Amino acid sequence: MRLILLGAPGAGKGTQAAFICQKYGIPQISTGDMLRAAVKAGTPLGLQAKQVMEAGGLVSDDLIIDLVKERIAQPDCVNGFLFDGFPRTIPQADAMREAGVRIDYVLEIDVPFEAIIERMSGRRVHPASGRTYHIKYNPPKVEGKDDVTGEDLIQRDDDKEETVRKRLQVYADQTRPLVDYYRDWAVRDPLNAPKYRSISGLGTVEKITERVFAALRD
């Protein structure tokens, strides 16, 4: 299974990715998680990405495309993978197509922008694993601690309201066009294009997981 999760910042991509990856036994390739790890480790990539991420902009296509190509060449990707937060621009999508990377499904999680601000302000993450919680909607068993390791949860640097608004604008301008890109491709060339599915991301986490699996069944 090879799939792309498409959706605005805070739509719940990371949250649902965990369930999908567990069910299909595939790795979650989150370019956001990879970049945050690079920033933390102070690698050359991290140094280039830090300011752009804090400002809510996008890291350059060339850097991201190289990062992903290297990642999907790893042995754990032979049975598939899930892209979370990639591709995010038309050139990134074109690069995968030109490289002949076949994708089975593009799944869009659709959440109105108004619901997103609240989700982001309550988000807490376990940086080492990428596990994601929400103080109200998806709380950890012990406040401020990761369920699996018991380590501290943190708030992301880019979850300030002002930065979230900027990220939503960047999504609308640069990433949202991918909805039509994949939808049109699926109509034009159904044999080669990924299947396109769109579900509502409003409701409980469990309810959305049910929708995700129903969408991937056919």
Known binding residues for AMP: 31, 36, 57-59, 85-88, 92, 156, 167
Q: Is 194 in the site for Zn ion (CB under 5 A)?
A: no
Cα dihedral across residues 113, 118, 121, 127: positive or negative: negative
Identify the H or E element spanning 83.
strand 81-84
Whether 217 is catalytic is no
**Going by C-beta distance under 8 Å and a sequence separation of 6 or more, which residues neighbour residue 141?**
147
- 2, 50, 88, 131: residue in contact with ligand AP5 (rule CB under 6 A): 88
Q: Which is nearer to ligand AP5, 79 or 169 (CB)?
A: 169
Give me the least distance between CB of 191 and ligand AP5, in Å please. Answer: 27
Whether 195 is catalytic is no
CA 49/CA 122 separation, integer angstroms? 24
Shortest CA distance to 118 belongs to which of 9, 19, 6? 9
- 29, 53, 82, 199: residue in contact with ligand AP5 (rule CB under 6 A): 53
Cα dihedral across residues 201, 85, 33, 35: positive or negative: negative
Active site residues: 13, 88, 123, 156, 167
Residues binding ligand AP5 (CB under 6 A): 7, 9-15, 31-32, 35, 52-53, 56-59, 64, 85-86, 88, 92, 119, 122-123, 132-134, 137-138, 158, 167, 203-205, 208
